[in-house]
Structure 1
């Protein structure tokens, strides 16, 4: 691998999986030039295992797209009575209709997503502050992975912004069979899961799983990939509710940061989850974008816990 650093090796492996989610170990080795005499296949397997163990990367996930008959709704909520806030969060997690719950510090107490737009949140003593269709999220591929967070934030602020929104579309009618849903459920947290393992839990042949995955499941999903140079647990996290006329270029600017950022598209504006190392540095960058008119307005939340 020449003079490439170990982090550089991890990043190139991550990028090879971004390009081809189910690329084989041999394929990764070829993509990063780890071939020939003295280059063991087992080295790549060991590196991949280390990346996941240190949370430098996560296994790629499947995110179901937005369909007319299958879509998610997002809620920002606050507890009306300021009691039992933490226990209420646990109850939300236990509600089978809740796909994702984020415990927040800020104007609201919770960010909740569900595929049931009529979910009863009032039974938990919650006031709905905002409700919106949640469109298919987008995730950045970070290009600032080898520079300091402070330098990356400067590059983020100095980006050449241009007006333009990110597309929000419905993908027609989702017509999945029970097997398609089974495959999605088993693979959504690991899009690289062996088809043989999925088959054993689906009572079908692995060739059938492979056929359905590529023909029906994958075309309806977005595959998400993650990269965190110092490991996910090293970073602080900010959850920003943003309104801007520069959505598309804002997303491009986020790619200049060291870590993968998540962007949850709402009907009006979006929410972005940014990993960082200094609240002061991040807020200085965000306020600079507000001063220059790139951001119209925003709300800052700090995630306290999240459950899926």
Structure 2
């Protein structure tokens, strides 16, 4: 099916996802994963045809549109203008991001030419790509950093964000992480847990993690824990319905500590379970634990729709 055929036969759709990001970051993999989830997929549709495709309002099958710098009439300004035109529709922007050095390694391994620098080194093409895409990244509803993800992990991440029931209006993800490795990208709210008592300094707890009852109980015994957790919980429960009213589809909450093994895991688990018990769909991710031992695509989803 050609883009023009798609426009002529298009029906209004219930959910629309624009998928973009720098070349090599995993956009094609994300598009295929969405197709496997039942989305109708159109890749490299000219920007000027997107409004015509989406005329009529949101109903019918879910739709994913792949857009990047190779699109025929692509420009940063045209993309931002498109987002402004679609502001009243239920359109979500998914941005696949990646560190430049990882992109360079991927191009070196595959020996592919960068589409923005076919006669030059991939370094030049990557730099041009980022110049064009950075303003668009700032408008994204969800950012997935693929720098350290395998193809299978990326597909699992797409499933976590987009595989939930279509009537679920807000998908929550709660993350734990280590400040040593920096903040995960795409977080909406971040809380620092390094003030809590650290199980690392207890020899019998050092080799465990925040998923264990021993560590969780130890962290929760900090006299500041209850007040901290209660305030974070109340803030989340206050803001989540407000985000729903604003039409936000995703909310990512992060908890960090020094090593990302104990305190942040404990708090993320407790908040994730609390929000799930309140009826929200929640995905809980522990970045450092997944890197250390978990199989590809690990992560747990809970909640009434999970």
Give the TM-score range, shorter chain.
Answer: under 0.3
TM-score by length of 2: 0.24
Kindly indicate whether structure 1 or structure 2 has the higher relative contact order, using CA contacts under 8 Å at least 6 residues apart: 1
Higher helix fraction (1 or 2): 2
TM-score, length-normalised on structure 1?
Answer: 0.24
